[in-house]
Amino acid sequence: MFCRTMAALLAATLALGPGLGQAAPLTATEIMTQFNAVVSGSFTSNSDVEGRLVANTITGGATFYNNPSNTPSSFGAINAITVTSGVTSANVNNGGNVNIQGSNAGSFNLNGGAMVNTPAFTIGDFTAPLTALSGDLAGLAPNSTVNAADPNSFTFIVTPNAQGLAVFTLDAGLLATARDLKFSGTADTIVINVTGTSFTDTANFNAGNFINQHVIWNFTEAQTLDFQRAWHGAVLAPQATVSNSTPLEGFLFALNFNGRGELHDRPFAGTLPQLVPEPGTLALLGTGLIGICLSRRRRA
């Protein structure tokens, strides 16, 4: 009975897997290392997007893939469901392909790349792992503190656990009081959970590539984010419309993006806590179940 039940559950799960011509599901880590930004709704910008982009709808032109730093991927420079007529003569550099799964009313200047429709994907292939990650990170207990007494030296005091994970939790209103953001200490992964529905950044924030690639700002409740100064680190904002006036230095996940500044490609280089099973875990589970069932049959 056990083997029959588990086999049925596994078969149902695998039936939801990728179809013919569709790439295997990516984990949150793979997405954050292979892509510059994932936008589940509307993407609009006339500024540079240095790395790979995934968007449900692209409504404004930009210069794409002009300085990619992310890891190799089967996906193109631009991966979209719909491209509107607002995209006119958008430049796609460095041989990047444009992968459109739905309709295309725009135009692109390809520089060594091509218009393709593979690998097949849905926007949920990208948003589901990232939304789950955002929710899981929001549930982590904080182990690090913020010294906010002096807005001109608003300091994150990093005290990681044995696994190299440092976790902060603070309100967006408190973060908005900062005039100069700083970090004291280091960790393999720094998660900053920011509560509240809106945040406008006006702080001075000077940081290097370590912060860009090892910090995750998790705005899981946010509806609007406006970065008016340079911002460093990955941003997870599954419900938010995000705008910027100066570069975002790191991975971005948002509901909508209205860009007035560039998106710089800084692939995530930390280690995500294994809070939910990654897609590859199902294959290992299936192999293990087969072994258990065969062993039971032999004993029977």
244-270 per-position pLDDT tens digit: 999 999 999 999 999 999 999 999 999
User: Whole-angstrom Cα distance, residue 193 to residue 182?
Assistant: 16
Question: What is the average per-residue pLDDT within 54-80?
Answer: 96
Give the residues across from 281 on adjacent strands: none
Top-confidence residue, 22 or 64: 64
Give pTM, 2 decimals: 0.87
Residue 22 resides in a domain: no
- Residue 212 resides in a domain: yes
**Residue 42 domain flag:** yes
Query: pLDDT band at residue 274, thresholds of 50, 70 and 90?
Result: confident
pLDDT above 50: residue 2: no
Pairing relationship of beta strands 154-157 and 145-147 according to DSSP bridges: antiparallel
For range 101-105, the mean pLDDT: 98
Q: Residue 131: which H helix or E strand, with range?
A: helix 124-138
User: With bands split at pLDDT 50, 70 and 90, how would you rate the model's confidence at 61?
Assistant: confident
Evaluate if residue 1 carries a pLDDT over 80. no
Q: Is the pLDDT of residue 197 over 80?
A: yes
Strand partners, 242: 225, 257
Q: Is residue 119 part of a domain?
A: yes
Tally of structural domains, the chain: 1
Instruction: Establish if 16 belongs to a structural domain.
Output: no
Predicted confidence at residue 24, as pLDDT, reads: 78
Both structure tokens of 124: 């949920």
**How far, in Å, CA of 229 to CA of 261, rounded?**
10
94: region left, alpha or beta (phi > 0 left; psi from -120 to 50 alpha): left
Q: Is residue 297 part of a domain?
A: no
Averaged pLDDT score across all residues of the chain: 90
Q: Residue 34: its pLDDT value, please?
A: 99
287 falls within a domain:
no
- CA gap 85, 104 in Å, rounded: 8
User: Residue 41: which domain range?
Assistant: 28-277
pLDDT in tens, 232-242: 999 999 999 99
Query: Distance from CA of residue 296 to its chain's centroid?
Result: 43
Measured CA to CA in angstroms, residue 53 lies from 94, 131, 140 at distances of 14, 17, 29
User: Residue 15: its pLDDT value, please?
Assistant: 45
Q: What is the mean pLDDT of residues 17-27?
A: 66
Domain membership of residue 172 (yes or no) is yes
Burial classification of residue 8, based on how many CB atoms lie within 10 Å of its CB (0-12 exposed, 13-18 middle, 19 or more buried)? exposed
The larger pLDDT score, comparing residue 284 to residue 39, is at 39
3-class secondary structure, 287: helix
